[in-house]
C-alpha cells in the first residue's frame, strides 16, 4: 500500500476547525434534546451544572490541544491512549470511542427525525417508528455529504452555524424580556423532585457531558489540517467556549420564560416548548428549522469524527485493515460506509421504543457515561505522555489530571445514584470492552 494512501489529505484551516468544533456541539440541538432532562435533574441549577462540567471539559480540551500539536492523528483519543498506555489499553479506548459515538449518533438522529416530522408532518413527531425512519434517512444523507469532501462539509457547516447562533440569540433576547408563562402550558404531568440536591446536580453534570460534547472533532480532523501545529487544539477550545456561552445564555433566558414542569414535560423537544411560549407561527417555524439545521450539522460532524476514528483503527489493524484504506479520491470510503450502515440499523431499532422521549433519554444517558470515560482516559494519557516535559508540566500534565479526576468523580457518583437500567448499561459497556481489548490489543500497528 503506497504511503500516500495511508494518510488523509491536508485541506482544513484553523477557521474550518473552529467552525466544525462549535457546530458539532450543536447549541440548538443540545438545548432541544438535553435541556429538559438536565432541568428535571437540577431544576434552576441546570445552567450552573453545565458551567461546572464545561470547566472540567476545558481541562480535557487542553490535553487534546497538546496532543494535536505533537501527534496529529485521525484516531485522536484512541491513538493517544494507545501511545501512552500501550496496545491493550488503546484497544479499550477504541471500544469506548466506538460505543459512545454509536450511541451519540443515534441520540442525534432521533431529534433529527422529530424535528423533520414537526416541520413536514405535524402529529407524527412523537411516534418513535416515524422518528427512527426519518433519522435513518438523515444518517445516510449526512454520509453522502461527507463523501463529497470534508472541506465542502466545513463550508456548509459554517452557513448552518451562523443561522443557528443568530436565531438562538434572538430567541434568548425575546425570552428574557417576555413575561414568564405559567406551567399550565405543559402537555402532561411529569413529577418533579421535592428538592434538587447534590445527587440531581451531579446527574445533570453527567448529562451535560453530552451537551458539551462535540468539540473533539477538532482532534479527529487534526491529521487533515494545513495550518500551524496549534490550529487544531486552538480550534477545539474556541469551539467549546463559543458554544457553551451560547447554550448557557439561552438556558438562563428560557428558564425565565418557562417553568420547570414545562421543561420536564417536554424533554424530547425543549425548544419546541420554548417556541410555543414565545407564541406565533413565526417563532415556532424559526425554532423548528434552527433545531433541524443544528441537528444535521451535529449529525454529519459526529459521523465525520466516528468515520475518521474507524479509519485510523483500521489503519492500525485494531479493526479490519480494509477500513483503513483510502479510495482513489483519498477519502475513507469503506470506514464511512460501514459506519453509515451500522448506525442506520441501530437507529431503526430505536423505533421499537415506547415513545420518542424514551428512546432519546436512553441513548443520552448511556452515551454520556461512555463519552465521559473516554475523556478521562484521554486526559490521563496526556498526563503520562507529557510528564517528562518540564515546558508542558502545567497544560500537558496538571490541567488534564485535574479534569480527569473531577470527571471520573462525577461519572462514578452518577452511576451510583441513577436507576438500575443505566447501571446495567454502564456496567455492560465497561465489562464488554475488556475481551475486545484483550483480543484486538494483540495486533501491532499496520
How far apart, in whole angstroms, are the C-alpha atoms of residue 365 and residue 372?
Answer: 11
Domain extent at residue 207: 21-440
Spell out the per-residue pLDDT of the chain, length 446, in tens: 334 445 788 999 999 999 999 999 999 989 988 899 899 889 999 999 999 999 999 999 999 999 999 999 999 999 999 999 999 999 999 999 998 888 778 778 877 888 888 888 887 877 888 888 999 999 999 999 999 989 899 999 999 999 999 999 999 999 999 998 876 544 445 666 656 778 889 889 988 887 888 999 999 999 999 999 999 999 999 999 999 999 999 999 999 999 898 898 887 778 889 998 998 889 989 998 998 899 899 999 999 999 999 999 999 999 999 999 999 888 999 999 999 999 898 888 877 766 555 555 556 666 777 888 999 999 999 999 999 999 999 999 999 999 999 999 988 887 776 667 767 777 888 899 999 999 998 766 55
Q: Which has the closest alpha carbon to 337: 323, 348, 320?
A: 323
CB 233 within 8 A of CB 158: no
Written as one string, the DSSP assignment of 42-78 is HGGGHHHHHHHHHHHHHHHHHHHHHHHHH---TTHHH
How far apart, in whole angstroms, are the C-alpha atoms of residue 3 and residue 260?
Answer: 57
How far apart, in whole angstroms, are the C-alpha atoms of residue 306 and residue 303?
Answer: 5
How far apart, in whole angstroms, are the C-alpha atoms of residue 119 and residue 292?
Answer: 9
Place of cell 476547525: 17
Residue 6 domain-assigned (yes or no): no
Written as one string, the DSSP assignment of 303-369 is HHHHHHHHHHHHHTTSS-GGGG---TTS--HHHHHHHHHHHHHHHHHGGGSSSHHHHHHHHHHHHHH
For 359-428, list the strands marked E by DSSP.
none
Residue 8 domain-assigned (yes or no): no
What the block records as the C-alpha cell of 349 is 431499532
Residue 1 domain-assigned (yes or no): no
CB 224 within 8 A of CB 8: yes
Residue 249 domain-assigned (yes or no): yes
Residue 2 domain-assigned (yes or no): no
pLDDT at 122: 82
Contacts of 208 (CB under 8 A, 6+ apart): 34, 38, 49, 50, 52, 53, 54
Residue 280 domain-assigned (yes or no): yes
Residue 16 domain-assigned (yes or no): no
Written as one string, the DSSP assignment of 241-277 is HHHHHHHHHHHHHHHHHS-HHHHHHTTT-HHHHHHHH
For 61-146, list the strands marked E by DSSP.
none
How far apart, in whole angstroms, are the C-alpha atoms of residue 301 and residue 20?
Answer: 7
H helices of 178-257, where? 198-211, 217-220, 231-257
Count of structural domains within the chain: 1
How far apart, in whole angstroms, are the C-alpha atoms of residue 304 and residue 298?
Answer: 10
Residue 11 domain-assigned (yes or no): no
pLDDT at 341: 93
Helix then strand then coil, % of the chain, to nearest 5:
80, 0, 20
Q: What is the CATH number of the domain that holds 362?
A: 1.20.1740.10
Contacts of 120 (CB under 8 A, 6+ apart): none
How far apart, in whole angstroms, are the C-alpha atoms of residue 247 and residue 32?
Answer: 11
pLDDT at 220: 93
* Bridge partners (DSSP) listed for residue 12: 225
Amino acid at each position: 500500500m503506497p504511503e500516500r494512501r495511508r494518510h488523509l489529505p491536508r485541506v482544513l484551516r484553523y477557521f474550518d476547525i473552529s467552525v466544525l468544533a462549535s457546530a458539532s456541539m450543536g447549541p440548538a440541538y443540545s438545548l432541544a434534546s438535553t435541556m429538559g432532562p438536565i432541568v428535571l435533574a437540577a431544576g434552576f441549577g441546570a445552567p450552573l451544572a453545565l458551567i461546572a462540567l464545561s470547566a472540567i471539559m476545558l481541562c480535557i480540551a487542553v490535553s487534546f490541544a497538546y496532543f494535536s500539536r505533537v501527534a496529529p492523528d485521525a484516531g485522536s483519543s484512541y491513538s493517544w491512549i494507545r501511545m501512552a498506555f500501550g496496545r491493550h489499553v488503546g484497544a479499550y479506548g477504541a471500544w469506548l470511542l466506538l460505543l459512545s459515538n454509536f450511541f451519540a449518533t443515534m441520540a442525534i438522529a432521533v431529534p433529527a427525525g422529530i424535528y423533520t416530522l414537526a416541520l413536514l408532518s405535524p402529529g407524527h413527531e412523537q411516534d418513535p417508528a416515524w422518528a427512527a425512519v426519518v433519522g435513518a434517512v438523515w444518517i445516510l444523507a449526512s454520509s453522502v455529504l461527507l463523501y463529497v469532501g470534508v472541506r465542502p462539509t466545513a463550508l456548509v457547516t459554517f452557513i448552518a452555524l451562523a443561522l443557528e447562533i443568530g436565531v438562538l440569540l434572538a430567541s434568548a433576547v425575546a425570552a428574557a424580556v417576555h413575561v414568564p408563562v405559567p406551567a399550565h402550558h405543559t402537555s402532561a404531568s411529569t413529577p418533579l423532585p421535592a428538592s434538587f440536591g447534590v445527587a440531581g446536580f451531579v446527574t445533570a453534570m453527567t448529562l451535560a457531558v453530552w451537551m458539551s460534547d462535540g468539540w473533539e472533532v477538532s482532534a479527529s480532523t487534526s491529521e487533515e489540517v494545513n495550518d500551524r501545529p496549534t490550529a487544531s487544539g486552538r480550534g477545539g477550545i474556541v469551539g467549546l467556549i463559543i458554544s457553551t456561552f451560547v447554550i448557557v445564555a439561552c438556558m438562563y433566558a428560557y428558564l425565565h420564560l418557562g417553568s420547570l414542569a414545562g421543561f420536564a414535560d417536554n424533554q424530547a423537544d425543549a425548544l419546541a416548548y420554548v417556541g410555543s411560549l414565545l407564541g406565533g407561527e413565526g417563532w415556532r417555524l424559526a425554532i423548528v428549522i434552527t433545531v433541524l439545521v443544528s441537528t444535521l450539522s451535529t449529525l454529519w460532524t459526529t459521523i465525520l469524527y466516528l468515520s475518521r476514528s474507524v479509519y485510523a483503527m483500521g489503519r492500525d489493524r485494531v479493526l479490519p485493515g480494509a477500513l483503513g484504506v483510502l479510495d482513489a479520491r483519498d477519502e475513507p470510503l469503506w470506514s464511512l460506509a460501514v459506519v453509515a450502515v451500522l448506525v442506520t440499523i441501530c437507529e431503526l431499532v430505536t423505533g421499537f421504543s415506547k415513545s420518542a422521549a424514551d428512546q432519546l433519554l436512553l441513548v443520552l444517558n448511556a452515551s454520556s457515561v461512555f463519552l465521559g470515560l473516554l475523556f478521562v482516559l484521554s486526559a490521563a494519557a496526556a498526563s503520562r505522555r507529557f510528564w517528562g516535559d518540564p515546558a508542558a508540566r502545567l497544560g500537558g500534565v496538571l490541567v488534564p489530571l485535574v479534569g480527569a479526576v473531577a470527571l471520573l468523580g462525577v461519572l462514578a457518583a452518577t452511576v451510583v445514584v441513577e436507576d438500575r437500567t443505566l447501571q446495567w448499561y454502564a456496567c455492560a459497556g465497561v465489562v464488554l470492552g475488556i475481551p475486545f481489548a484483550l483480543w484486538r490489543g494483540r495486533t501491532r500497528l499496520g
